[in-house]
């Protein structure tokens, strides 16, 4: 008398749009009460995020946007004043004492400044969470050996942190965070103190860990480049709220909010060149040319849309700045052009370019 | 006559060493845990207990601000109760320990509070209990500072031990006062002073060496490390 099976349904579930949820953040607020010196501060305001198992989720925002508070709420270092957070089914925000510690062992964390014990060698630093968990010496030795192998610093096992480079220290931090075989890894600006090459190597390691161990990663950063490099989804935070969220490709290629746009412009070359920025003004009447930003996404990003636009309308379209980039192997481009300023052309160009999946944004006018 | 003096100096030195090391050990046994607790029981810290913290702070401050010579006299009933007498080297251990303990507590408290708060956060995130974090993180990380602090207190106790000589506590201070001061024996006074200076010097150097040895925050000099 076995239960009836629904192969179609189970297959659909297996390749479902969203994987099983690992982290649920529901209506979370965090208010720091008023003190003698300052008024009450709401660090988080009614935040809702769901993060799937095996996902790499990026939280981006300026400093003070609340991303650090939110990250710390996930492992209970911060207590929300409202709302609830659950990780792998455990209601973190409601746990206490030994239950909370047990839940925390299933959540690893890495830090911008590594937070390694200066009094312990690489080996002993990685062993620390296992000592906390009460493992015996032999089990710790085996586990640490595997971890050092995994992050590629087996040869530094007897070195003290002071003898290690920044990248090596972060590798120790990652090994330590993975020691108790967590399902979730929290990364607090883990690459912000590292040079670009080391940053790339550490991000590659994190992506690798995500792929091979299936660890869900939540990272906070103020660099869109980090998000672009390894995240699957991203949430943009501002003033304690998530103001924009979605697949990295969508957010990067079509940002909806100014904040997201400003993070994007901080990506190399996305800022307007100074000579152009200085000449821009909002007055159409006295303008000769409109300055448009065209965003190409999807398969058609590589098609010669501009050439065809110029051909079709016989219009002068000058390219002022251009960049083609890719996220997760999907190309997207951003091109700034000077085009005729009349409204007729504007409407026609909009319609024409929509066929090529090009989003048009008018930045201003030049004489 | 001179061998007699030599023997007296030797006995006084041993008495001083006995007083100082016993008092230092007892003061450490009380002071180190007290210091750790003072540092970690503040508001928002691992073992937060505000009231108890405030009480202990008061006691530590009270003991620390009483001049040592007054403390010795004030503690005579306590000393009698514990040792049975208030005269001699063993009796002197009581006020020395009680003067040393809060001193050590303050030094240890300072060293523990110097430990980077990020390490505590990381340890909490790893699922460590407050006691585990104190034992495995705070104490080892604060060890260089604690070693220097304990050295400082040992030196102070050497000076204090000479002071208890004035009230019949025995040791080098006692010898210095009886011979050097009351009998105008300049040579004895000079020897006592030189021994005290040498003692302080040795303790200071040993303490600094130990602190350097346990400090892993500084990259070992390439010549000594032997591993390039």
Identify the residue among A115, A120, A140, A188 best suited for mutation to test binding to B, counting B beta carbons within 10 A and taking the highest.
A115
Q: Report the pLDDT value the prediction gives residue A339, as an integer from 0 to 100.
A: 83
Three-state secondary structure call for residue B79: helix
Closest CA to A339 of A324, A353, A326: A353
Contact B109, B38 (CB under 8 A): yes
Mean pLDDT of the region B90-118: 93
Mean pLDDT of the region A50-65: 92
How many domains is chain B built from? 1
Burial class (CB in 10 A: 0-12, 13-18, 19+), A176: buried
Which is it for strands A184-188 and A216-221: parallel, antiparallel or unpaired? parallel
Q: What band does B2 get if pLDDT is binned at 50, 70 and 90?
A: low
Q: Report the pLDDT value the prediction gives residue B143, as an integer from 0 to 100.
A: 94
Range of the domain at B139: 3-214
**Closest residue in A to B120 (Cα–Cα):** A115
Among A171-175, A235-239, A273-277, which stretch is predicted with the lowest mean pLDDT? A273-277
Proportion of chain B above pLDDT 70, given as a percent: 95
Q: Report the pLDDT value the prediction gives residue B228, as an integer from 0 to 100.
A: 37
CB–CB contact A160 B216 (8 Å):
yes
Cβ atoms within 10 Å of A173's Cβ, excluding its own: 27
d(CA A206, CA B104): 45
Mean pLDDT of the region A342-349: 79
CB–CB contact A117 B116 (8 Å):
no
Q: Per the domain annotation, does B27 fall within a domain?
A: yes
Proportion of chain A above pLDDT 70, given as a percent: 91
Q: Per the domain annotation, does B227 fall within a domain?
A: no
**Closest residue in A to B218 (Cα–Cα):** A162
Using the structure block, give the residue that is written with the tokens 């892993």.
B216
Question: Residue ranges per domain, chain A?
Answer: 21-106+182-265, 273-366
Identify the residue among A36, A119, A126, A129 best suited for mutation to test binding to B, counting B beta carbons within 10 A and taking the highest.
A119
Proportion of chain B above pLDDT 90, given as a percent: 56
Q: Report the pLDDT value the prediction gives residue B223, as an integer from 0 to 100.
A: 44
Whether the per-residue pLDDT at B20 is higher than 90: the answer is: yes
Q: What band does A269 get if pLDDT is binned at 50, 70 and 90?
A: very low
A vs B, Cβ pairs < 8 A, gives: 73
Whether the per-residue pLDDT at B119 is higher than 90: the answer is: yes
Whether the per-residue pLDDT at B87 is higher than 60: the answer is: yes
Q: What is the mean pLDDT of chain A?
A: 85
Mean pLDDT of the region B184-193: 86
Contacts of A180 in chain B (CB under 8 A): 126-127
Q: Per the domain annotation, does B187 fall within a domain?
A: yes
CB–CB contact B121 A120 (8 Å):
no
Q: Per the domain annotation, does B219 fall within a domain?
A: no
Three-state secondary structure call for residue A142: helix
d(CA A243, CA A255): 11
Nearest to A104 among B125, B218, B220 (CB): B125
Q: What band does A9 get if pLDDT is binned at 50, 70 and 90?
A: very low
**Whether the predicted interface score ipTM is above 0.90:** no
What would the pLDDT profile of B59-71 be if each residue is shown by its tens digit?
A: 999 888 888 888 8
Among A71-85, A251-265, B29-43, which stretch is predicted with the lowest mean pLDDT? A251-265
The CATH number of whichever domain residue B180 belongs to comes to 1.10.3720.10
Contact B108, B146 (CB under 8 A): yes
pTM assigned to the model = 0.81
Nearest to A118 among B125, B217, B220 (CB): B217
Q: Report the pLDDT value the prediction gives residue B226, as an integer from 0 to 100.
A: 41
Contact B110, B149 (CB under 8 A): yes
CB–CB contact B118 A113 (8 Å):
yes
Closest CA to A58 of A203, A190, A233, A187: A233
Q: Report the pLDDT value the prediction gives residue A18, as an integer from 0 to 100.
A: 53
Q: Per the domain annotation, does B37 fall within a domain?
A: yes
**Closest residue in B to A186 (Cα–Cα):** B125
d(CA A80, CA A86): 12
Cβ atoms within 10 Å of B176's Cβ, excluding its own: 25
B 130-169 residues with CB < 8 A to A? 132, 136-137, 140-141, 143
CATH number of A273-366: 3.30.70.260
What would the pLDDT profile of A289-321 be if each residue is shown by its tens digit?
A: 888 888 777 677 667 777 788 887 777 788 888
Contact partners, residue B21, CB within 8 Å, separation at least 6: none
Three-state secondary structure call for residue A175: helix
Tell me the fold of A21-106+182-265.
Rossmann fold (3.40.50)
Whether the per-residue pLDDT at A6 is higher than 50: the answer is: no
Give A213's DSSP letter: H
B226 to chain A, closest Cα gap in Å: 12
Identify the residue among B111, B126, B138, B228 best suited for mutation to test binding to A, counting A beta carbons within 10 A and taking the highest.
B126
Contacts of A115 in chain B (CB under 8 A): 116, 118-119, 121-122
Identify the residue among B112, B127, B138, B141 best suited for mutation to test binding to A, counting A beta carbons within 10 A and taking the highest.
B127
Nearest to A128 among B118, B136, B220 (CB): B136
Q: Report the pLDDT value the prediction gives residue A267, as an integer from 0 to 100.
A: 54
B129 Cβ under 8 Å from any chain A Cβ: yes
Maximum average pLDDT range among A2-11, A188-197, A293-302, A337-346 = A188-197
């Amino acid at each position: 008398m076995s239960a009836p099976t629904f192969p179609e349904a189970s297959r659909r579930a297996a390749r479902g749009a969203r994987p099983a949820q690992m982290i649920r953040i529901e209506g979370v607020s965090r208010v720091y009460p008023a003190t003698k010196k300052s008024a009450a501060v709401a660090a988080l305001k009614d935040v809702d995020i769901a993060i799937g198992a095996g996902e790499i989720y990026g939280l981006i925002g300026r400093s003070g946007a609340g991303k650090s508070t939110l990250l710390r709420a996930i492992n209970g270092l911060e207590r929300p004043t409202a709302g609830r957070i659950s990780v792998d089914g455990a209601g973190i925000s409601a746990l206490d004492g030994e239950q909370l510690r047990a839940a925390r062992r299933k959540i690893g964390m890495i830090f911008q400044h590594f937070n390694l014990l200066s009094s312990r060698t690489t080996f002993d630093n990685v062993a620390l969470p296992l000592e906390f968990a009460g493992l015996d010496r032999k089990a710790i030795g085996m586990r640490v050996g595997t971890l050092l192998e995994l992050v590629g610093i087996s040869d530094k096992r007897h070195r003290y942190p002071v003898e290690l480079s920044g990248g090596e220290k972060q590798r120790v931090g990652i090994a330590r965070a993975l020691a108790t075989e967590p399902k979730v890894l929290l990364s607090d600006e883990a690459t912000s103190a590292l040079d670009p090459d080391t940053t790339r190597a550490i991000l590659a390691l994190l992506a690798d860990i995500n792929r091979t161990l299936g660890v869900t990663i939540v990272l906070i950063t103020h660099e869109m480049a980090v998000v672009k490099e390894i995240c699957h989804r991203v949430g943009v935070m501002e003033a304690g709220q998530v103001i924009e969220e979605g697949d990295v490709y969508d957010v990067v290629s079509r940002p909806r909010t100014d904040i997201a746009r400003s993070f994007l412009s901080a990506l190399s070359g996305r800022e307007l060149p100074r000579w152009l920025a200085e000449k821009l003004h909002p007055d159409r009447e006295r303008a000769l040319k409109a300055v448009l930003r065209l965003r190409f996404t999807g398969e058609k990003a590589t098609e010669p849309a501009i050439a065809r636009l110029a051909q079709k309308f016989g219009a002068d379209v000058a390219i002022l700045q251009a960049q083609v980039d890719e996220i997760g192997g999907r190309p997207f481009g951003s091109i700034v052009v000077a085009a005729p300023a009349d409204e007729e052309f504007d409407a026609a160009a909009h319609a024409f370019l929509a066929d090529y999946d090009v989003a048009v944004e008018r930045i201003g006018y030049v004489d | 006559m001179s061998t007699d003096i030599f023997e007296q100096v030797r006995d006084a030195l041993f008495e001083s060493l006995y007083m100082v090391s016993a008092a230092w050990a007892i003061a450490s046994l009380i002071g180190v845990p007290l210091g750790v607790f003072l540092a970690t029981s503040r508001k928002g810290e691992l073992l937060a207990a505000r009231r108890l913290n405030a009480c202990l702070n008061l006691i530590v401050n009270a003991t620390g601000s009483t001049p040592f010579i007054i403390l010795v006299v004030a503690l005579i009933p306590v000393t009698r109760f514990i040792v049975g007498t208030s005269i001699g080297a063993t009796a002197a251990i009581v006020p020395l320990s009680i003067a040393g303990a809060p001193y050590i507590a303050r030094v240890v408290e300072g060293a523990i509070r110097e430990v980077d708060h990020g390490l505590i956060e990381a340890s909490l995130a790893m699922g460590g209990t407050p006691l585990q974090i104190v034992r495995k993180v705070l104490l080892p990380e604060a060890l260089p500072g604690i070693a220097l602090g304990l050295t400082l207190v040992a030196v102070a106790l050497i000076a204090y031990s000479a002071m208890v000589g004035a009230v019949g506590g025995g040791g080098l201070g006692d010898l210095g006062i009886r011979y050097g001061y009351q009998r105008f024996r300049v040579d004895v006074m000079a020897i006592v002073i030189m021994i005290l200076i040498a003692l302080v010097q040795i303790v200071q150097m040993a303490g600094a060496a130990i602190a350097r040895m346990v400090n892993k925050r500084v990259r070992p000099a390439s010549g000594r490390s032997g591993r390039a």
